[in-house]
Amino acid sequence: MLDVKNLSKKFPIESGLFKVKGYVQAVKNVSFSIAENEIVALVGESGSGKSTVGKLIQGLIQPDAGEILLDGKVRAREVQMIFQDPYASLNPKLSVGTMLKEALALSKSSQTPADLLKSVGLPADILHDYPHQFSGGQRQRLGIARALAANPKLIIADEPVSALDVTIQAQILKLLLSLKNERKISYLFITHDLSVVEELAGKVLVMKEGEIVEQGAVREIFERPQNAYTKTLLAATLRVTI
């Protein structure tokens, strides 16, 4: 469904007003694919380039080179994103109802705000409430509801549970799995460790310094990692049961 081919992106290092002294290669020659109704995990430490890959696929930034195709075409609204900090990604001035209505209007979806809230386990009587009135887990559910407004084929989940406590993490992960099965959604699940990957994803991509250093089936990578960096990540992993 999604094909990423030889994706590259560098950012300038500025030394003063309008002066560039060099570039940082954030993503280098990255290639992978995601099938329909598949979860692929993209793993790496902070600064490895994994979030940049997500933003490139979403279209928030443009690549220097490479190709990103969804069903053989340039990406469209069928790609949505869930962010690490749900409060920062929600407009604090908009009520839940207004936020979801705007998302539905952009996507021309036949769903209603109440439908979206039900999909993520939230009651319809919160439509007039605002983001600050909710817990972190509830706000992340709202972020997921907003993403669902576009009936996405692919959701990029960028560290969606790292700001939540372990119990809430498990609840959000169960929700994502349920939505995958109900709506046939694929995920690119971006995370800095392998704590949830074993039970969540079918395939894992390990990223270091802008490059994918190892990829394959989750079970194979967990049981027989080949790259030293992958072994280090696995050694630091705490299991989260969902």
pLDDT tens for each residue of 219-238: 999 999 999 999 998 887 75
Give the predicted TM-score (pTM) of the model.
0.91
Query: Residue 147: what pLDDT?
Result: 95
Compute the half-sphere exposure of residue 106: CA atoms within 13 Å on the CB side of its CA.
17
Report residue 187 CA to chain centroid gap. 7
CB–CB of 204/41 below 8 Å?
Answer: yes
Residue-wise pLDDT for 48-89, tens only, equals 999 999 999 999 999 999 999 998 886 667 899 999 887 888
Q: What confidence score (pLDDT) does residue 71 get? A: 87
pLDDT for 38 equals 96
Tokens, residue 155: 């959701």
Q: What is the pLDDT of residue 236?
A: 79
> Which amino acid belongs to residue 125?
D
Helices and strands (DSSP H and E) totals, the chain? 9, 10
What pLDDT does 27 receive? 97
pLDDT of residue 192: 82
Extract the tokens encoding 219. 């079970």
Q: Supply φ then ψ for residue 154, to 5 degrees.
A: -135, 135
Residue 88: predicted pLDDT: 82
Q: Please state, as a whole number, how many other Cβ atoms lie within 10 Å of the Cβ of residue 65.
A: 13
**Running DSSP on this structure, what letter comes out for residue 85?**
-
Domains, the chain, with CATH or none: 2-235 (3.40.50.300)
In which residue ranges of the chain is pLDDT below 70? 74-76, 238-242
